Structure 1
């Protein structure tokens, strides 16, 4: 089983926190779609004929695509890949791009899961983040989704916003849960250097929310959604029974995937590949039938570190037996003092062959994983 990610590198405007690769210049949209189709053709052997169980349109903002663009990309995917008849096909969208006609078009073309970037229902917060939609559009798009043929969709929220309050966060959670989305993703706002917020921070115009403030909102998020019948199956992801994201789960389970489009990453099970994060250079390379990517040959230590990083973020946790059998690494033997310290600090538990982080530990997941990393 494998997955395919399609990066659509266009947005109407730049959110002040976003450091993903995108451009607001959509003049080259047609050319980009053709380049993506060409890369799909050139990369058709990358996954070795594996059955494709998930396709994910991300970005950027895929919802800026027209129906003709979507049809062309999907036709190329079907022509050059072995796609399961039950594949999860996710399409990211912004609330301001969603209309009843758009939803109908996506569903009729085979999209069976939506991922919508709500981020907040608070008007002041949306303006501060420079989101393209407003609060009214957020509510309206959810009403349309509930009335549509889509029964599988995910909504995003951001917490740890310095201009916000716990009361605002409580309202956002209640509003979201009232709509009963099958899946919820929620991320802490981080200030990245090469963003508007990053530049504000460098000039002393913006400070990140305190760790305590963000932690309190994370704990409340998890507890609130647990009471609302959501499973906290990954640090930033929550789902009703049967609605976890197949695509994102494949990343955490070390399954191979192919990334198409500028800045997209690929993983064949042993090595990684990174496409260039430049639209013009990407187009130029594909015109020459060249794949604009660099290969990262992973050592055994790299693979162990990556597995630790991804698995510890999930509710399943790190499979100690997998590390022994597949990567010849005995985690308990090599990190016994560290793990015993975490257990005594209530950061993790050992359950059978799995090392699992507690809610307290998940808040520090990336830091804890890095403490176990092997040095090449």
Structure 2
């Protein structure tokens, strides 16, 4: 049977068609999400993952896109070594054109470009939401292992400040502190799979990257009376780039939301994505104070702080996510030069 679709590289000119396809193709996982873009979709992908290449599928006679995905590139820790990686993200196929091999073709095209670019030892990765059976079936065709658990929790903002701590100050990081922040991060995640080692330069570049006239990336620290760094966390104002409409959610989450108000009344999340979280040895309490202070002081800038974390890791001491908060989870599909051990912690690439 002749192939009914064609594959080509994504361009910035595809942004409008990508936004339409995204509206038509919500994630089919446990919580179905429709992104609403406030800046061109291609720019959002670049902001999320930096160095990317996108791919789209087209069908003769159909004016829109039948499918799309993008692959981001970088280096990360994996089983004690640093490897190049290629992370498949945003894989979607229009509902009218599913089960035609489009998803597999998009993944194959992206991963082939990754191997051509970075070599055969490139880690091929994808994060799959719990309950997304279509993505799981597609991943099984190329992945050698599907393992691990990453919890995703949108934590509502606080209406009241946390109890003041006179010994700890929460503020924006200073440029001269970036080398120390990088050192703390590298130590905190030294054994974690998929952690991307940081430098002062990489943190500065991340803070400066924005598609808008003002920054969307911020780094907040907790310091003691002497100015010593105790904890830190990065924030991306994702809600300024796109909001996430909850198209559907399990009945239990909807019921819980009546009391918890995690999901806004209009079902549109304006997320503040958290990244690069750490606390110094013995300073989990300072980390918690930092987290709770941000939940209050940033309440006008987003509807939720979103935490992506390995539930086995020490970062749970900082977040203290309440067990009744609604969550979803991701698992990692991968193909690499060595298997992923089950006992290593995971630092999410998403």
Bigger relative CO (Cα 8 Å, ≥ 6 apart): 2
Larger relative strand fraction: 2
Report the TM-score, using the length of structure 1 for normalisation: 0.30
Normalized per residue, which structure has more helix? Answer: 1
